Structures are given as C-alpha cells and as structure tokens.
C-alpha cells in the first residue's frame, strides 16, 4: 500500500475513532509506557527498552530490592527523570476528560504524568513514585523530598537505612486491590475502551481490554507497533500517541460542536 494510501487510511480511522468517542457515555483510556515515550521516558520492551538494559528480577523484584536497593534506584531514575513533562498525548486525554468523554484513565505507568497533565480520575495499577516508605523505621516521604537525594543513589532515610521503598508494584507483589477492583468495574461498565502505548503482555493489567470487550465495549488501540492483541480490537491505529491523540481529541471536539 502506498504512503499516501496509508495516510488516507489513518485519517479515516482517526475520524471514525473520534466519532465513536464523541458518542461515548463512558469511555476508559488504558495507558502503558508508550504514552510517556515522547516525554523522554524509555519504554520497557521494543527497541531501546529498559528490559534490554536491566534485569527485571534484579532491579524490580522484592528480592532484588532487598539485596541491592541501589540497583533499583539507578533503574528508577530513568523512569522518573525530573525533566520529564507530560506530552501532547497526556494533554489530549485530559481534554477528552474535560469534554465529558473519558471517565477514567487506567495506567500501568508510575510517572504521574497523567495527573500533571490535568487528568483527575487516574487509576495507577502499578502504583506510583508519589510516596516512599522506609522499611526499617516506617517513615514516609513525598517524592519531592526524595528526588533531590537521588544524586547519591540510593537515597538514605533519616534513620540511616537505604531501604526506602516507593509505593510501586514490584515483580512478585500483588497489584493494589482497590485499584484493580476500580479498574475492573470501569472496564465492565464502559462503552468504549481505548488502549494507548502498551504491548499488553503483563497480566493482570492486560486482561482489562478483554473484560471491556466481554461487556460489549468498543475497543480501540493506538500503539507505535502492532501487538499480539490487535486482532481483538475494533479500531487499530499504529503511530505515535503524541501525534495521533491530539488529532483524535480535535475531531471529537468538532463532532461535539456539530451535534
């Protein structure tokens, strides 16, 4: 297929997806690392992915953290670089929330960029870096208190301990029960479920699109590259979230104005 034809096809799908969203009474957006890629945060899989550079078991499991908290903090610094800001994809989702289309964002990300872009209803399935707890004395810190300490990795608690653990889900840990319950509730009752920037390979989060499909929702996926689950989706867009999502949000706003 020629590039022109592909471009025309993408424009058509963007318009169709925008029409679906503009008619939605309860849309849910489910995001993964890909939505933060254009904010300078590396993804986990695919070219340049973090799991090609770090051993997940060593840096992101409970055992690995207890053996070597420094390895975890070196890894996490790449995910929560202080210079990272929300990109146009995060802002487009916040805009769709303001338009009354998106009811909630379910994210696998821990970078808090959705909230910084103005999204109010955010379910963080894998937790976030917002609070950090000392496993020895129990003192908790805000991310803002820890960020400056990251120059000398690992950060050290006032009690002298280096076991400062953020409220993120490590491999081997269960997902926050409340977050998963709310996510399943939204996935089971939404009429439109849009995945943005996820390879959909980590469960139980990756079950959610199928929960939505089983409940009769229209499924949309926007990802830079094909995923194993594309065939289950009603609409498939391959491209950059920072490019395509603002165009979808603009078209939704246009459809709503005409309605």
List the one residue from 17, 33, 157, 217 that touches ligand APR (CB under 6 A): 33
The answer to whether 241 contacts ligand APR (rule: CB under 6 A) is yes
Q: Of residues 113-132, which lie at the interface with ligand APR (CB under 6 A)?
A: 126
Catalytic residue among 90, 126, 228, 238: 126
CA 47-49-55 angle, to 5 degrees, is 135
C-beta separation of 126 from 44 below 8 A: no
Helical packing angle, 88-98 and 241-258, nearest 10°: 20
Tokens of 156: 């050290």
User: How far is 67 from 189, CA to CA, in rounded Å?
Assistant: 42
Nearer to ligand APR, 76 or 252 (CB): 76
The answer to whether 44 contacts ligand APR (rule: CB under 6 A) is yes
Reference 39, options 4, 76, 89; nearest CA is 89
# chain residues binding ligand APR, by CB under 6 A: 24
User: How far is 91 from 98, CA to CA, in rounded Å?
Assistant: 10
Rg (the chain; Cα; Å):
19
Min dist. Cβ of residue 254 to ligand APR (A): 23
Min dist. Cβ of residue 30 to ligand APR (A): 10
C-beta separation of 202 from 125 below 8 A: no
The answer to whether 179 contacts ligand APR (rule: CB under 6 A) is no
Whether residue 126 lies in the annotated active site: yes
Q: What is the 3-state secondary structure (H, E, C) of 72-92?
A: HHHHHHHHCCCCCCCCHHHHH
Nearer to ligand APR, 39 or 157 (CB): 39
Helical packing angle, 3-22 and 241-258, nearest 10°: 50
The answer to whether 224 contacts ligand APR (rule: CB under 6 A) is yes
The answer to whether 154 contacts ligand APR (rule: CB under 6 A) is no
The answer to whether 107 contacts ligand APR (rule: CB under 6 A) is no
User: How far is 130 from 112, CA to CA, in rounded Å?
Assistant: 8
Min dist. Cβ of residue 152 to ligand APR (A): 26
List the one residue from 15, 49, 213, 256 that touches ligand APR (CB under 6 A): 49
The answer to whether 43 contacts ligand APR (rule: CB under 6 A) is yes
Min dist. Cβ of residue 199 to ligand APR (A): 4
Q: What is the DSSP letter of 150?
A: G
Interface residues toward ligand APR, by CB under 6 A: 32-34, 37-38, 43-46, 49, 108, 126, 197-199, 201-202, 223-225, 227, 240-242
State the catalytic residues.
126
């Amino acid at each position: 297929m020629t590039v022109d034809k592909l471009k025309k096809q993408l424009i058509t799908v963007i318009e169709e997806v925008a029409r679906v969203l503009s008619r939605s009474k309860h849309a849910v957006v489910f995001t993964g690392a890909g939505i933060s890629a254009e904010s300078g945060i590396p993804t986990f899989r695919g070219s340049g992915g973090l799991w090609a550079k770090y051993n997940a078991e060593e840096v992101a499991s409970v055992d690995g953290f207890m053996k070597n908290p420094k390895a975890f903090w070196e890894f996490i610094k790449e995910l929560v670089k202080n210079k990272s800001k929300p990109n146009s994809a995060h802002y487009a989702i916040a805009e769709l929330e303001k338009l009354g289309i998106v009811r909630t964002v379910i994210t696998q990300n821990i970078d808090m960029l959705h909230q910084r872009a103005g999204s109010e209803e955010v379910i963080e399935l894998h937790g976030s870096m917002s609070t950090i707890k000392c496993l020895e004395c129990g003192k908790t810190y805000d991310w803002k208190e820890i960020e400056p300490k990251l120059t000398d990795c690992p950060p050290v608690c006032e009690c002298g301990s280096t076991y400062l653990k953020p409220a993120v889900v490590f491999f081997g840990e269960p997902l926050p029960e409340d977050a998963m319950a709310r996510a399943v509730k939204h996935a089971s009752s939404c009429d439109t479920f849009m995945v943005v920037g996820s390879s959909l390979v980590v469960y139980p989060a990756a079950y959610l699109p199928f929960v939505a499909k089983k409940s009769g929702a229209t499924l949309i996926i926007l990802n830079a590259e094909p995923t194993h689950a594309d065939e289950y989706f009603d609409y498939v867009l391959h491209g950059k979230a920072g490019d395509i999502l603002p165009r979808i949000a603009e078209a939704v706003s246009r459809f709503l104005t005409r309605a």
